[in-house]
Amino acid sequence: MSASGFATRLVALTRKETRQMLRDRSNLVVGLVLPVVLILLFGYGLSFDVKDARVTVVLEDSSPTARNVVAGLRGSPYIAPTWASSMAEAERMIRAGQTDAILRVPGDFSRRLAAGDGQLQLLLNGVDSNTAAAIEGYVGGSLALPGQQQVDRGGNKPAAAANITIVQRMWFNEASESTWYLVPGLIVLVMTLIGAFLTSLLVAREWERGTLESLFVTPVRPLELVLAKLAPYIVIGAIDLIMCLLAAKYLFQVPMRGSLWIIIVSSLLYLLVSLGLGLFISATTRNQFAASQMALLASFMPAMMLSGFVFDLRNMPVVIQVISQVLPATHFMGLIKTLFMAGDYWPDILRNCAILALYATVLIALSRRSLAKKLD
C-alpha cells in the first residue's frame, strides 16, 4: 500500500471521527463544558485556606489582662471570634457544629500569668483535622503576648533574651495560596478526563454496534484507526488546555514561571498518554460500561488522589509512593507544578517528558495491537 493510500484513509477516518464527536452532544458537554465547570470549581470553590474560622471564647477570667490577651483574636484575618458565657454552652455549640474551636480563659488566668505560668485551653473539633490544625496555628499567632505589649509601651528593648527567631521564606508560593497549586493540577485532571474517559467509549462503542467488523474488511490498517481516533480529541484537549492556561493566568493570577511552550508540549505529551490509555482500555474491554469504569479507576481517580494533586506524595507510605510513581499522572503533576510555580528546571523537564513520551508510545502501540483486525 502506498503512502498516499495511508494518507487518504487517515484523513477519511479522522473526518469520520470528528463528525461523530461533533454530532454527539454528550461528548461535547464532557469535553468542553465540564472542563469549564471544573476550572471554576477548582479556582473558586475549592480552598484549603481557612478564613473566618469560628472560635468561641469562654472568658472565665474577666480581668483586663485576660481581655487584652484575647483581643488579639479580633485582629486576625483568619478568625471570627464569638463569645459564650459558659463552657457548657460552648461545648454544646461545638457538638451542634456551630463552632470549630473553643478558647477557654480559666478563672485564675491572670493570677497565674503574673506568676509566669499563664495557661489557655484550646478545644478543637478534630473532625476536620486540617481546619483544626490551621486554627491552632492562627490562634497561637494572634494572641497578644503580654510581654511584647509591655515592651512596646515602654519603648525599650527587652532585656537581652537569647532566642532563635525564624526567618522564613516560602519559595514559589509566597502568599501560600492553595489556588496556585490547585489550578496547575487541574490541567492534569482535565487532560486525564478528556483522554481517558472520552476515548474509553470510542472503540468499545464500535465493538458493541458492530461497525468494526465492516471496517476491518477494508484496506484500513490498525494504526490508521488509532491515529484517527486520537486526532479529534487532541484538538479538544488542546482547546481545554488553552482554556485552563487562560483561566490560570487571567482569572486566578497563578504565576507561570516556566516557559509557555514547555508547558504546552508537556501537556500535549500527557494528553497523548491518557488518550492512549483510554483507547487501550476501550479496545480491550469491548464494552462501554466496563470501559468507562476501568478508565475512571485506572486514570481519573488515581490522578486525583495519588498523583500529588492535593495530597503530597512525600507524606505517603513507601508502597503508595511506589504505586504513584507508576502512574503517568504523577510525573506530569510534578512537572506542571514546577513549571508553573518554580520555572524551567531542566533535569525535571527532561526526565518527566521522557517518561511521558515512553508511556505514550507504549500505550499507543498497545492500542494498535489490540485493534488487530481479529474477531476472536
Q: Does 221 bind another protein (CB under 8 A)?
A: yes
Cβ at position 168, least distance to another protein in Å:
4
Q: Does 253 bind another protein (CB under 8 A)?
A: no
Within 42-86, where are the H helices? Answer: 64-75
Q: Does 96 bind another protein (CB under 8 A)?
A: yes
Instruction: Select 83 or 345, whichever has its Cβ closest to another protein.
Output: 345
- Residue choice 75, 77, 130, 261 for contact with another protein (CB under 8 A): 130
Cα of first residue to Cα of last residue in the chain, in angstroms, is 26
Which range touches another protein (CB under 8 A), out of 117-125, 268-276, 353-361, 362-370?
A: 117-125
Q: Does 156 bind another protein (CB under 8 A)?
A: no
Q: Does 181 bind another protein (CB under 8 A)?
A: yes
Backbone torsions φ then ψ of 101, nearest 5 degrees: -155, 155
Q: Does 364 bind another protein (CB under 8 A)?
A: no
Q: Does 16 bind another protein (CB under 8 A)?
A: yes
Q: Does 349 bind another protein (CB under 8 A)?
A: no
3-state secondary structure of 83: strand
Instruction: Select 20 or 76, whichever has its Cβ closest to another protein.
Output: 20
Cβ at position 135, least distance to another protein in Å:
10
CB 208 within 8 A of CB 287: yes
Q: Does 3 bind another protein (CB under 8 A)?
A: no
- Residue 29 CA to residue 35 CA, distance in Å, equals 9
Q: Does 354 bind another protein (CB under 8 A)?
A: no
* Count of Cβ atoms closer than 10 Å to residue 28 Cβ: 15
Q: Which of these, 59, 109, 53, lies nearest to 84 by C-alpha position?
A: 59
- Residue choice 154, 156, 161, 261 for contact with another protein (CB under 8 A): 161
Cell, residue 279: 483507547
Residues 28-67 that bind another protein (CB under 8 A): 29-30, 33-34, 37-38, 41-42, 44-52
Q: Does 363 bind another protein (CB under 8 A)?
A: no
Q: Does 171 bind another protein (CB under 8 A)?
A: yes
* Count of Cβ atoms closer than 10 Å to residue 100 Cβ: 24
- Residue choice 188, 212, 245, 353 for contact with another protein (CB under 8 A): 212
Question: Residue 334: is it exposed, middle or buried by C-beta count within 10 angstroms (0-12/13-18/19+)?
Answer: middle
Using N-to-C axis directions, what is the helix angle for 178-192 and 328-337, rounded to 10°?
140
Backbone torsions φ then ψ of 83, nearest 5 degrees: -125, 145
- Residue choice 264, 265, 268, 296 for contact with another protein (CB under 8 A): 296
Q: Which of these, 312, 181, 304, lies nearest to 254 by C-alpha position?
A: 181
Question: Residue 348: is it exposed, middle or buried by C-beta count within 10 angstroms (0-12/13-18/19+)?
Answer: middle
What count of residues does the chain have? Answer: 376
Cβ at position 80, least distance to another protein in Å:
11
C-alpha pair distances (Å), 90 with each of 52, 55, 100, 277: 18, 10, 10, 53
- x/- track of binding to another protein for residues 320-339 (CB under 8 A): x--xx---------x--xx-
Instruction: Select 301 or 362, whichever has its Cβ closest to another protein.
Output: 301
Q: Does 18 bind another protein (CB under 8 A)?
A: no
Instruction: Select 31 or 276, whichever has its Cβ closest to another protein.
Output: 31
- Residue choice 36, 268, 342, 357 for contact with another protein (CB under 8 A): 342
Which range touches another protein (CB under 8 A), out of 173-181, 233-241, 244-252, 363-371?
A: 173-181
- Residue choice 12, 242, 260, 350 for contact with another protein (CB under 8 A): 12
- Residue 171 CA to residue 332 CA, distance in Å, equals 20
